[in-house]
Amino acid sequence: MFVTIGRVSLRLNGRQMAKGSSLAKKSEKKRPAYHRILLKLSGESLQGPQGFGIDGETIHAIAKELREVHKLGVQIAIMVGGGNIFRGARQKGFEIDRATGDYMGMLATVLNALALQDALEKVDVHTRVQSAIEMHQVCEPFIRRRSTRHLEKGRVVIFAAGTGNPYFSTDTAAALRAMEIKAHAILKATRVDGIYDADPEKVPGAKLFERITYLDVIQKGLAVMDSTAISLCMDNRMPILVFNMNTPGNIRRAVMGEKVGSTVTAE
Ligand code: UDP
């Protein structure tokens, strides 16, 4: 049997053909289900056991997981939250004007973005930080075409400062940017295994939904992402994969299309 690669023809015997086809099958099996993802990382996921701020070991472990996903050839954009540093007007024991608090919250996400950039570059993953609030000395401004170009070149793009507007959340910013960069899915990393019918940390026996519709999430008031983010995803049919961040390898599993956590879609 002759096989032609470009201008070269090779003659293969039966065994070589069989080996070739089994290798082809293997590599087919290993192809990621999503080639461009937007990962939403809450500020909380960076804080580790200390319960606030940024934990070195935790952020290093996340960077290493992301490196594995990056090696699969997946284009990765990340929207990072800020709740580990400042929660805007929701900050406990701190009465502050809503917009001012929200701007402070957005600035907190920039700190996280820079920490994540440093952690990723330490494990040899090239990155760019793009902020929705301009700060030229620190990072790039968000420019949609520029972020897709970075992704095509294999750089991880970290989005900072949410949407740049108060009264929004980084969940909504994640949904917005996912649409803008034409991501194939939003990966929402949480501290529980997926979406439950009740808070699994408080209600023993709470039921996990493997699949659920956007409408059900909104109607049942399930705490996945805020309703603005969910309805944006619903209008644009953007799948959301919700999974436990504390289980090592979960980002990779989700990207490969393996059954992990919950999936939110239209049907
Ligand atoms: N924020 C905002 N506009 C945005 C994104 C975030 O005003 O587009 C503010 C808001 O105050 C929010 C804070 O930034 O509480 C931190 O973001 P978020 O709470 O979404 O972070 P997470 O809970 O994911 O860590």
Q: What is the pLDDT along the chain (267 residues), one digit of tens a residue?
A: 444 444 444 555 555 555 555 555 554 567 999 999 999 999 999 998 888 999 999 999 999 999 999 999 999 999 999 999 998 777 777 789 999 999 999 999 999 999 999 999 999 999 999 999 999 999 999 999 999 999 999 999 999 999 999 999 999 999 999 999 999 999 999 989 999 999 888 898 999 999 999 999 999 999 889 999 999 999 999 999 999 999 999 999 999 999 999 999 998
95 Cβ neighbours under 8 A, 6+ residues apart: none
Q: Which of 165, 164, 162 is nearest to 175 (CA)?
A: 162
Q: Given the CA of residue 132, which atom of ligand 1 is nearest to it?
A: 8
CB burial of residue 168 (10 Å; 0-12, 13-18, 19+): buried
Nearest CA to ligand 1 atom 22: 81
Dist. CA 237–CA 107, nearest whole Å: 30
124 CA distance to ligand 1 middle (Å): 29
Q: What pLDDT was estimated at residue 30?
A: 77
Dist. CA 69–CA 260, nearest whole Å: 15
Q: What pLDDT was estimated at residue 48?
A: 86
Mutate to test the pocket of ligand 1, among 87, 104, 133, 225 (most ligand atoms within 8 A of CB): 87
Mutate to test the pocket of ligand 1, among 109, 110, 188, 191 (most ligand atoms within 8 A of CB): 109
Q: Give the Cβ contact number of residue 89 at 10 Å.
A: 17
Report helix, strand or coil for 175. helix
- Reported pTM: 0.89
105 CA distance to ligand 1 middle (Å): 5
Find the residues whose C-beta lies inside 6 A of ligand 1.
Answer: 42-44, 81-83, 87-88, 90, 101-102, 105-106, 108-109, 162-163, 165-166, 168-171, 173
First to last CA, the chain: 46
Dist. CA 172–CA 256, nearest whole Å: 25
Dist. CA 159–CA 109, nearest whole Å: 9
Dist. CA 243–CA 250, nearest whole Å: 7
Task: Give the length of the chain.
Answer: 267
Phi then psi dihedrals of residue 183, to 5 deg:
-70, 155
Dist. CA 254–CA 187, nearest whole Å: 8
> In what order do the strands lie in the sheet containing 185-190?
140-141, 127-131, 156-160, 75-80, 36-41, 185-190, 240-244, 262-265, 211-213
129 CA distance to ligand 1 middle (Å): 17
Q: Given the CA of residue 80, which atom of ligand 1 is nearest to it?
A: 24
Give the CA distances from residue 88 to residues 81, 108, 172, in Å, rounded to whole numbers and listed in that order: 11, 9, 15
Q: What pLDDT was estimated at residue 94?
A: 77
Q: Which of 80, 31, 72, 81 is nearest to 154 (CA)?
A: 72
Q: What pLDDT was estimated at residue 172?
A: 97
Q: What pLDDT was estimated at residue 8?
A: 46
Q: Given the CA of residue 102, which atom of ligand 1 is nearest to it?
A: 11
Mutate to test the pocket of ligand 1, among 79, 170, 226, 227 (most ligand atoms within 8 A of CB): 170
172 CA distance to ligand 1 middle (Å): 9
